[in-house]
Homo-oligomer: A and B are copies of this chain.
Amino acid sequence: MKATIVTIGDEILIGQIIDTNSGYIAKALDRIGVQTHELLSISDNKQHILETFEKLQNKVDFVIITGGLGPTKDDITKHTFCEYFNDSLVVNYEVQAHVIELIEKVMKRPASQINKDQALVPSNCQVLFNKVGTAPGMWMKKENTVYISLPGVPYEMKYIVENEIIPKIVKEYERPYILHKTIMTYGQGESLVAERIEDWENNLPEFIKLAYLPSPGRVRLRLTARGKDKELLETTINNKVESLAKIIGDIIVGFDEDETIAVVIGRLLIQNKNTLAVAESCTGGKIAQELTAVAGASNYFRGGVVSYATETKVSMLGVLEETITQHSVVSGEVAKEMAIGVQKRMKSDYAIATTGNAGPDKGDADATVGTVFIAIATPSEVFVEEFDFGQPREKVIDRAVNKAFEMLQKEILKNV
């Protein structure tokens, strides 16, 4: 059972926006054993869309299309559906009633003709009802291929995928069994990890595939097993993970596919009934943001101070002026005082502090671009490490955030 996911929109082809919809859909399909064959982004051009539909006809079971369903003139998916399926648009009155109600409720004005036209759908399509927006999804079959069209607005697309498409496929189609297991490792590079597990990797059975997913400071190892015998897959993959843990147990930090390190840290803090606060300079709020992106963060995250201006390190965190004068604002001493300051003022058990220069210019400090100090305060001590995260700005910030989480996690694990 295979799918190709097609995104329609010139804005993607000129790099103005990044397509995150396809990844979401691919993940949802993967969970129910539908394999995504390709992701494809094409232009808003009717001829291009028709050619794509034809190429995919009978090559995959599902073609899932996002984008091109909005109310404006550059949205042409619906008309192209009609041409491809030799159909014409008719009003779906259930959708129309919903559009009118939604516009009145949310926009506090009557629905315009452009709004109402959202309820026009090809006469032979099965409507996938969009409760959270105005553009309905559509499901149409031609020979062996189902063409599914979805709005491009992410939360509308998600709503229809979760509530309409996935249940429908699960109910109506038989699918093979796919099992993933992701092992998160921290602190060693891809090639070093590869060397350590070379023998283990060479002994994997054919139905299990290994992939390395490196990102700054960490490597995730993903095992994928595919087959019909669910039990065999599960037993084999679990045995393989166990034997892997014997080889690189020192760098393994977690196993869940979707888990970010912020999630892992949150769980550890809850287990230990501990709390966390952060004082950020060069990371500018990103540590707090990643922590609070996790639902339930209020159970352990006290809060943070983004002490961007030097003066606020003194006024908001109690860093001593003489420490800044003596050691400069980008220094281990300042990082430590920031960590202790926020720990004390926010009454937390742990604290993270960052100070550094993310570039592109030198800013307040003499520090080289890329230099970052990260301090961790625990219930009993405070320590600091210095890093050179290079360039550009975005990489410095990301690597500092990751490294800070990694350092904190190690400390929490020591105290479990």
Spell out A's residues near B (CB within 8 Å).
7, 9-20, 22-28, 30, 35-44, 70-75, 107, 112, 114-115, 132, 153, 155, 180, 182, 189-192, 194-195, 201, 209-214, 222, 224, 257, 275, 278, 280, 283-289, 291-293, 295-298, 301-309, 311-312, 315-316, 345-347, 359-361, 363-364, 390, 392-395, 397
Contact = CB atoms under 8 A, between A and B. Distances in A.
A361 B15 contact: no
A335 to B, nearest CB: 16
B284 A293 contact: yes
In the complex, the count of this chain's copies comes to 2
B295 A195 contact: no
A286 B289 contact: yes
A287 B306 CA distance: 11
B10 A224 contact: yes
15 contacts: A11-B213, A13-B35, A13-B39, A15-B36, A18-B18, A39-B40, A39-B41, A40-B41, A74-B210, A107-B192, A285-B289, A288-B306, A289-B289, A297-B308, A309-B346
Contact of A194 (B40, B114, B302): B114
Nearest to A364: B298
Nearest to A155: B395
Given A13-B37, A70-B212, A292-B306, 8 more contacts: A39-B41, A70-B190, A74-B211, A75-B212, A285-B285, A285-B289, A302-B312, A304-B308
Contacts of A312: 302-303, 346
A316 B298 contact: no
Nearest to A111: B191
A14 B180 contact: yes
B308 A195 contact: no
A17 B182 CA distance: 13
A393 to B, nearest CB: 6
